Amino acid sequence: MPSACQYIEIDANAEQMMAVLTDFCAYPAFLPEIERVEVLESTVHRWDVRFHAHVFRPFQYTLRLERVSPRRLTWTMLSGLFTSNDGAWDLEELVGEGPVRTRATYSIDLVLGMFVPQALVNSLVGVTLPTTLARFKARVEGA
């Protein structure tokens, strides 16, 4: 499965973006493939989160997410359908004339634990990822 890296520019500061990224229980409100979220364990900067999703069929996976800095959120898979699911959000504030904007870069290395047709893999990377980034952007800018 693919490794992918894409970014989107958001009309908000990095702190606002990080607040949306770490509000895991709100994901079902703006990510239709996420049906339910359970925070299994949390500390100030680390969360073990189980995501109940539906993409072609229902499945669940558990990630350990860690805010390693005010502008970086990483994750690694603890359990689930995939062989591995590691990634990060990196936030860079773009300072210039006008309001502060943030470049949010999403990177993922996902290994599926089953055969998936290449057309579906291409769809996940080419269509689903940009759509997901756009949904996060809309959530942050609407907040």
- What would the 3-class secondary structure string for 40-100 be? EEECCCEEEEEEEEEECEEEEEEEEEEEEECCEEEEEEEEECEEEEEEEEEEEEECCCCCC
What six digits make up the tokens of 114?
A: 């089953």
Cα–Cα distance for residue pair 133/121, rounded to 1 Å:
17
Taking only the tens place, the pLDDT of each residue in 11-68 is 999 999 999 999 999 999 999 999 999 999 999 999 999 999 987 788 899 999 999 9
Q: Which CATH class is domain 3-142?
A: alpha beta
CA 53 from chain centre, in angstroms, equals 13
Q: 111-128 burial, b if ≥16 CB within 10 A, otherwise e? A: ebeeeeeeeeeeebbeee
Cα–Cα distance for residue pair 101/106, rounded to 1 Å:
16
Task: Considering only residues 4 and 17, tell me which one the structure prediction assigns the higher pLDDT.
Answer: 17
Taking only the tens place, the pLDDT of each residue in 92-132 is 999 877 788 999 999 988 776 655 565 665 556 566 788 99
pLDDT at 17: 97
pLDDT at 82: 75
Q: 16-55 burial, b if ≥16 CB within 10 A, otherwise e? A: bbbebbbebeebbeebeebeebeeeeeeeeebbbbbebee
pLDDT at 7: 95
Instruction: Using pLDDT thresholds of 50, 70 and 90, give the confidence band for residue 1.
Output: very low
Which amino acid is it at 23? D
pLDDT at 110: 74
pLDDT at 124: 62
pLDDT at 96: 79
